[in-house]
Amino acid sequence: MSLHSMTGFARAQGTTGPWRWSWEVRSVNAKGLDVRLRLPSGFEELEAGARAAATRGLSRGSVSATFTLSREGDQVSVSVNEAALQALITATRAAAERFSLPPASLDSLLAVKGIVEVSEADSVDEDRPAITVAALAGFETALADLKIMREREGGALRTVLRERLDGISALVDDAEALPERRIEAIRARLAEQVRALLDTGAPLDGERLHQEAALLAAKADVREELDRLRAHVSAARELLTAGGPVGRRLDFLAQEFNRESNTLCSKSNGVALTQIGLDLKLLVDQFREQIQNIE
């Protein structure tokens, strides 16, 4: 199954009679699915169908969709108030004869307010049902294109995340191979420190010191942390291969990666292991940052 990002953009458009409509759909990452619609007045009935389509097709992401509608061409009608025009002509002629003025031109007569009436064509009401059906189909098309883009980005993210997991696995191998982290080396180093304390001549209980050294050696062993890191790497790889809406589970694993990396640093008994722990934390942060975009 494919892996999907939560980031994408799609556009769909079409015409219904004299009306041109379009959808623009954008999505970004979010904890859940949040769908926000912007619709022109009178098309509120589109909301239920669009939300249902988004819920069927997506599981996570903040999705914003804008529907716009416009009429093609200048659909207007022009009419002349002939009665008013006749009355105006009669009045202007009488005034021209009385005051010896030239007759009024047609342009000047038509410019008088109320003589010419310009009105827009019929409203969208009669076409609304057909537009609604077409718009819902267009939203499904835009949603399908959005999913394709999210899938394409998800494939790129899968490659990046696998690279991060390879890096984490390599660092775990490096930590495993360090001579200084073996329990025998830890005990030997602590025993040497105990002998140094005893050689000072201070009144110390040697048996108690050796017991404390053994306890510290056990606490300093990072065997369990390395085993858990390997298990988390394996689980994350399985999720990436399975695909689907695995973002939340990957985020949980990222938290576990971070926990084990912190413990590794706190239990480190040498510079090399500390450096590996710090490198692990860097890779884990990069891993977790990327999976914030996974559905």
pLDDT band at 163 (very low <50, low <70, confident <90, very high): very high
Residue 3 lies in a domain: no
Q: 65 and 198 share a domain?
A: no
Non-local CB neighbours of 255 within 8 Å, separated by 6+ positions: 288
293: its two tokens: 């975009």
Q: 146 and 162 share a domain?
A: no
Q: 106 and 139 share a domain?
A: no
Q: 192 and 102 share a domain?
A: no
pLDDT at residue number 150:
96
Q: 159 and 110 share a domain?
A: no
Task: For residue range 168-198, list pLDDT tens digits in order.
Answer: 999 999 998 887 656 666 666 666 666 676 6
Domain count, the chain: 3
Q: 66 and 98 share a domain?
A: no
CATH code, 206:
1.20.140
Q: 171 and 266 share a domain?
A: yes
Residue 79 has pLDDT above 90, yes or no: no
Q: 286 and 159 share a domain?
A: yes
pLDDT band at 214 (very low <50, low <70, confident <90, very high): low
- What angle do the packed helices 128-177 and 247-267 form, to 10 degrees? 20
Residue 203 lies in a domain: yes
Say what percent of the chain tops pLDDT 70: 82
Residue 68 lies in a domain: yes
Q: 55 and 185 share a domain?
A: no
Residue of 12 and 183 predicted with greater confidence:
12
Mean pLDDT, rounded, of the chain? 86
Residue 44 lies in a domain: yes
pLDDT at residue number 139:
97
Residue 108 lies in a domain: yes
CB atoms within 10 A of CB 244: 13
pLDDT band at 213 (very low <50, low <70, confident <90, very high): low
Among 64-68, 174-178, 239-243, the range scoring the smallest mean pLDDT is 174-178
Residue 232 lies in a domain: yes
Residue 1 lies in a domain: no
Q: What is the 3-state secondary structure (H, E, C) of 156-218?
A: HHHHHHHHHHHHHHHHHHHHHHCHHHCHHHHHHHHHHHHHHHHCCCCCCCHHHHHHHHHHHHH
Q: 86 and 67 share a domain?
A: no
Task: For residue range 131-150, list pLDDT tens digits in order.
Answer: 999 999 999 999 999 999 99
pLDDT band at 76 (very low <50, low <70, confident <90, very high): low
Residue 249's domain spans which residues?
A: 152-291
The rounded distance, in Å, linking the Cα atoms of 115 and 119 is 13
Residue 264 lies in a domain: yes
Residues 55, 60, 66: CA angle, nearest 5 degrees: 65
Q: 96 and 69 share a domain?
A: no
CATH code, 144:
3.30.230.10
Residue 122 has pLDDT above 90, yes or no: no
Q: 12 and 135 share a domain?
A: yes
